[in-house]
Amino acid sequence: MKQLMLGNAAVARGLYEAGCRFVSAYPGTPSTEIPECAATYKEIYAEWAPNEKVAYEAALGAAFGGARSFCSMKHVGLNVAADPLFTSSYTGVNGGMVVAVADDPAMHSSQNEQDSRHYAIAAKLPMLEPSDSAECLEFTKLAFELSERFDCPCLLRTCTRVAHSQSLVELSDRVEHMLKPFERNPVKYVMMPANAIKRHPAVEQRTADLVEYAESAAINRVEMGDTEVGYVTSGTGYQYLRECFPNASILKLGMVNPLPVKLIADFAARVKKLIVVEELDGIIETHLRANGIRVDGGKDIFGPCGELSQNRIRAALGMKLPEFVSFDEPVPQRPPALCPGCPHRGLFFTLSKLGVTVMGDIGCYTLGALPPLKALDTTVCMGASISGIHGFNTVRGAESAKNTVAVIGDSTFMHSGITGLVDIVYNKGVSTVMILDNSITGMTGHQQNPTTGKTLKGEDAPAVSLEKLCGAVGVKRVRVCDPYALDELKAIVSEELAADEPSVIIARRPCMLLPEVKAAPALVVDKDKCVGCKLCMQIGCPALSFGDKKAHVDPTLCVGCELCTQMCRVGAICKREAK
Ligand SMILES: Cc1ncc(C[n+]2csc(CCOP(=O)(O)OP(=O)(O)O)c2C)c(N)n1
């Protein structure tokens, strides 16, 4: 049976068909739907882990335990999981293990655009790269075979366009894989120096074996056509090239690490010019040059930044671009914004009014950096707000501690914030940390996390108590407040900043978009009372606009949170019945 499927859903289908039993993941765009879809198969145990390192280690443990296992993450998640990644290359697996990593060229939803192929090279692991949904399914199944045949985790690299586009896949039945026995083998599984040193040559031999496999693997495919120019490509590059040049000669690499040498050299010999088309870094190109294969075009014409596209390829090769219908009027910009009723809004307004320095983190609350709130001063990676404030305050002294806060979401705190808090307590730091607890992992689209009381499969689970956790690591001042109550919030932040010991403020209110949260009726502006002072506009609510010297509430957007009511000094924004 054929079915139209999202790339991520096709990877999940591949897990099902390959007999995978264990999935552990941490959400991250554009990879999140893989575990979500995998969880819909009753044959697969699937869970959210608190972070990618835990997900990786759990999947590795399941593979040691003899099952086919899987974990997934976005590209920056692989940084978090890098420690077990490298050493699992030495231990190898028992049951097959596949690791999906989704890159985000053009940074649709990421803080950088790193190229995950570097990890495959550095960790000496095989990496497959599908270019459509059918290959997502097929390559996932193949990745398990390679993992077991070469005794190592196998990486599967996707990117936003492959993960989030739909194409046809052919469905097959699941093939069960019984648990393999776990046989004690310390030399293989206990990576202390005396054992690991013996494993390293095995890793090198495996790379040589994988290169040999890559030379004749069916997923490294030569499609001969016009021999004036030959293109070496992988992933999305293949799709764009085929659309631009239906008759071109293309070497499509389905396996992007390790790369074949003879296959590419033979292909190069059959074409007059050789051009390498790859997104982000020039990894294939460098490999070709290192092996003495002539490259006539690559990163010098395409550059290493952003996504490729049909027109970018055409433009880089000096071709005429197809004509497009264009609008006479420019399309208005729609920058991302905190939703109406978002519990983070009042908090950032308060911090902005207090004029404090805010060490930010990654989540919906990163949008607090945008105007008019403009409340964030730093954002690096998940968890960096808390460890960052510790370093910042330590070098800048007591005055800084009275004027600086760290803000972090509930999911991010569980991911990697807790260790930063331990650092503060242990090293006698004095910093104020605010946990923005909206009871969900909001940014990536409402995934459960250890504080929410639900699992990925939708079952009830014990919820980690943030206040008890912070107390247990030694924070004596833990306050809980409602971020909708602006005056109370301001008072609490001021008190905690003045304290001479570490403190945590948990600003708790569920995300307005959660199905169980009911919106209040939309507010209205009493035009007679509104003096046009624009104070209400300072909170940057998308439901508020200003025109004809008066504020307006869009009733289709307003959820009645009454933050604007608290801003208005003349009582002009009120509930409908109060007007
Ligand atoms: C290492 C890493 N993993 C995953 C992500 C993707 N990601 C961005 S924000 C976020 C979590 C946000 O949830 P939370 O901290 O609860 O804040 P909210 O968005 O709900 O305000 C995730 C998983 C990332 N940026 N980096």
Whole-number Cα distances in Å, 540 to 165, 470, 534: 33, 32, 11
pLDDT, position 542: 96
- In 7-20, which positions are buried (b, 16+ CB within 10 angstroms) versus exposed (e)? bbbbbbbbbbbbbb
Q: Is residue 363 within 6 Å of ligand 1 at its C-beta?
A: yes
Q: Measure 287 CA to ligand 1 centroid, in angstroms.
A: 35
Strand-pair partners of 157: 101
Judge whether residue 578 has pLDDT over 70.
no
Helix axes 82-91, 52-64, angle to 10 degrees: 20
Residue labelled with tokens 């469905």: 171
**pLDDT tens-digit map of 164-186:** 999 999 999 999 999 999 999 99
pLDDT, position 539: 95
Whole-number Cα distances in Å, 8 to 19, 55, 59, 220, 419: 17, 18, 18, 22, 31
**What's the rounded mean pLDDT across residues 361-376?**
95
**What's the rounded mean pLDDT across residues 385-395?**
98
Q: Is residue 76 within 6 Å of ligand 1 at its C-beta?
A: yes
**pLDDT tens-digit map of 377-386:** 999 999 999 9
**pLDDT tens-digit map of 15-55:** 999 999 999 999 999 999 999 999 999 999 999 999 999 99
Judge whether residue 516 has pLDDT over 90.
yes
* Structure-block tokens of residue 403: 């004027």
Judge whether residue 536 has pLDDT over 60.
yes
Judge whether residue 343 has pLDDT over 70.
yes
- CA of 443, closest atom in ligand 1: 19
Q: Measure 412 CA to ligand 1 centroid, in angstroms.
A: 6
Q: Measure 243 CA to ligand 1 centroid, in angstroms.
A: 35
Whole-number Cα distances in Å, 550 to 13, 133, 528, 544: 54, 51, 9, 10
Q: Is residue 536 within 6 Å of ligand 1 at its C-beta?
A: no
**What's the rounded mean pLDDT across residues 218-238?**
98
Q: What are phi and psi of 165, to 5 degrees?
A: -115, 160
**What's the rounded mean pLDDT across residues 286-312?**
96
Judge whether residue 482 has pLDDT over 70.
yes
- CA of 442, closest atom in ligand 1: 20
**Nearest CA residue ID for atom 22, ligand 1:** 28
**Nearest CA residue ID for atom 7, ligand 1:** 28
**Domains, the chain, with CATH or none:** 2-216 (3.40.50.970), 220-316 (3.40.50.920), 344-508 (3.40.50.970), 524-578 (3.30.70.20)
> pLDDT band for position 333 (50/70/90)?
confident
Q: What are phi and psi of 33, to 5 degrees?
A: -70, -15
- CA of 80, closest atom in ligand 1: 1
95, 62 in Cβ contact below 8 A?
yes
pLDDT, position 335: 81
Strand-pair partners of 377: none
Q: Measure 340 CA to ligand 1 centroid, in angstroms.
A: 20
Judge whether residue 535 has pLDDT over 60.
yes
**Nearest CA residue ID for atom 5, ligand 1:** 28
Q: Is residue 362 within 6 Å of ligand 1 at its C-beta?
A: yes
- CA of 511, closest atom in ligand 1: 20
The contacts of residue 332 (CB under 8 Å, 6+ apart) are none
**Nearest CA residue ID for atom 3, ligand 1:** 77
Q: Measure 52 CA to ligand 1 centroid, in angstroms.
A: 12
Query: For residue 267, what is the enclosing H or E element?
Result: helix 262-270
pTM of the model: 0.97
> pLDDT band for position 366 (50/70/90)?
very high
| Averaged pLDDT of the chain | 96
302, 137 in Cβ contact below 8 A?
no
Q: Measure 145 CA to ligand 1 centroid, in angstroms.
A: 32
Judge whether residue 354 has pLDDT over 90.
yes
Q: What are phi and psi of 177, to 5 degrees?
A: -125, 115
Q: Is residue 383 within 6 Å of ligand 1 at its C-beta?
A: no
Please give the angle made by the CA atoms of 539, 544 and 545, to the nearest 5 degrees.
115
pLDDT, position 199: 97
Q: Which of 114, 160, 362, 448 to mutate to test the pocket of ligand 1 (most atoms within 8 A of CB)?
A: 362
**What's the rounded mean pLDDT across residues 303-332?**
89
Report the alpha-carbon distance of residue 119 to residue 99 in Å, rounded: 12
**Nearest CA residue ID for atom 11, ligand 1:** 363
Whole-number Cα distances in Å, 537 to 151, 161, 458, 476: 60, 37, 39, 37
> pLDDT band for position 328 (50/70/90)?
confident
pLDDT, position 332: 82
Q: Which percentage of the chain shows pLDDT scores above 70? A: 100
Report the alpha-carbon distance of residue 322 to residue 328 in Å, rounded: 18
pLDDT, position 330: 83
